[in-house]
Structure 1
């Protein structure tokens, strides 16, 4: 292998791994699917091993592909960030700001911040992915993410975007009038609960409380299970059952009197939405500009 061809096919490999699709990789790179396939085949011949399992409907990484991605993706992101940082040093923000955000950030953060940001920096493109699955944050090449503080990795730099909020049980006034209001977490077994299946893990979210200094986690019982927070709150507003959420998630419903809290005295503590990013990314002008726009929201 010569030094000149060391990076041949890596861009195509990383883009296929990102989208799990040759067609989508071709669209992002602005080439034909055939060109993407040829570049991948050439790379696999050089490495003497297949990097993807291919079927007519699905493409997935082989064990060798997973290993290569784990080693190459962080380095590729650092190289890209280094080039952008060099180009943008001592200049106005430019390029593409790539964000991965959880859905809660859309109405509370992105909708008020993005018009301010776009007006101030029209030359900066914005690529937003809405997802709760942030575990491949660096490998996928994101500049920053927005996530609940309790889920932000410790090695990341985090900036609070929302006021602190508390977790509790919520129900409609009609539900509480008909079924009563639980006074302790133990009484929840006597109530209809709407369960939440976490999209990123597929498990049932356990309701967490702080009772006399001890953390208590309960898996709720109930006839309904959903994997979407907005749908869960709508069902609760209709009186179909109790939900476990936060005063921030339910702020609009609370303001309109559609939901009321219960068991706030048992809240496990305050949380919040945070913008997070790596130390390597924090010096990028485009990210600093977005941080400035977010800071205006907090004032």
Structure 2
């Protein structure tokens, strides 16, 4: 009896985990759903444990499946990146660049870069996912992501895209004429605040300050709660209430005179927007081209 190939069934397992569907996994691998099911069954028999919960409507990972995915997904990405580099003898950027992008980066990074990038590299297709949920970056097969610095995993390589920015409270000139300006964080209790429900966690974001050397965290009070940063800023610009945002993301409306910052002296510190990626992915020509485009944007902002 021949020796069992340790890689048998892993491609099918990864495809099912990614798509959460045997039918869609079969389309991705260009085989029949029956072939996918058979490969999965053989893998589960070999491992002696089920990897997916199956019902007539959905399929989801078991605990053993989640453990296996966490172990092999990074290795699979390394192999895929290495094969991509090896097959690109000309070193010309090509293929699909898959990016996972923080929503607030869209107007400041993606919209300025994408037209020129696509014109410069017509052989590169860009697949963008706009989301604040980045925990599945590796398992999702992304080449790069854009996120605020503190939320990036420590084992990633990061390239700064924005200037250093601060966190502050913002309101419209009309709102401040009618209601006055908060002078200290405690004053916010007397103001209408637009609350932000984080899409990735579902909780209300607490406003953070530094006061007399101590961290202060305030859950804002107000009649309006949103889960979209752009809508939050639009409402604030119309005088609906105060918001908590960064000087970077509010910069366009501040320059236009629609918003004004307050409580800057209580800012918890500086942050930045970064492009991040794995060490294995950084040698890909398509990603290198995008990194260069981001670096050019960064230079234009500091000139």
Normalised to the residue count of structure 2, the TM-score between the two structures is 0.91
Within 1, Cα distance between the matches of 2:105 and 2:172?
24
Structure 1 residues 55-66: aligned runs within 5 Å: 55-66=55-66
SS in 1 for 2:37: helix
Question: Which stretch has the larger CA shift, 183-192 or 29-38?
Answer: 29-38
Q: Which residue of 2 aligns with 1:134?
A: 134
2:143/2:277 contact within 8 Å kept: yes
Within 1, Cα distance between the matches of 2:32 and 2:236?
48
2:85/2:91 contact within 8 Å kept: no
Cα 1:69/1:172, change in 2 over 3 Å: same
Q: Which residue of 2 aligns with 1:120?
A: 120
Unaligned stretches of 5+ in structure 1? none
Q: Which residue of 2 aligns with 1:46?
A: 46
Shift of 1:189: 1.0
Cα 1:119/1:239, change in 2 over 3 Å: same
Question: Which stretch has the larger CA shift, 24-33 or 234-243?
Answer: 24-33
2:52/2:61 contact within 8 Å kept: yes
Q: Which residue of 1 aligns with 2:297?
A: 297
Q: Which residue of 2 aligns with 1:194?
A: 194
Shift of 1:223: 2.2
SS in 1 for 2:25: helix
1:89/1:285 contact within 8 Å kept: no
Cα 1:89/1:208, change in 2 over 3 Å: farther
Within 1, Cα distance between the matches of 2:83 and 2:4?
19
Within 1, Cα distance between the matches of 2:132 and 2:5?
37
SS in 2 for 1:100: strand
SS in 2 for 1:249: coil
1:88/1:284 contact within 8 Å kept: no
Within 2, Cα distance between the matches of 1:236 and 1:87?
51
| Matching of residue 215 in structure 1 with residue 215 in structure 2 | yes
Deviations 1:18-48 (A, max 9, x none): 2323343334334444443343333333333
Within 2, Cα distance between the matches of 1:163 and 1:206?
24
RMSD: 2.0
Shift of 1:182: 0.4
Structure 1 residues 170-185: aligned runs within 5 Å: 170-185=170-185
Shift of 1:96: 2.1
Unaligned stretches of 5+ in structure 2? none
Q: Which residue of 1 aligns with 2:269?
A: 269
Deviations 1:179-227 (A, max 9, x none): 1110110111111111111111222211111223322221212222222
| Matching of residue 164 in structure 1 with residue 164 in structure 2 | yes
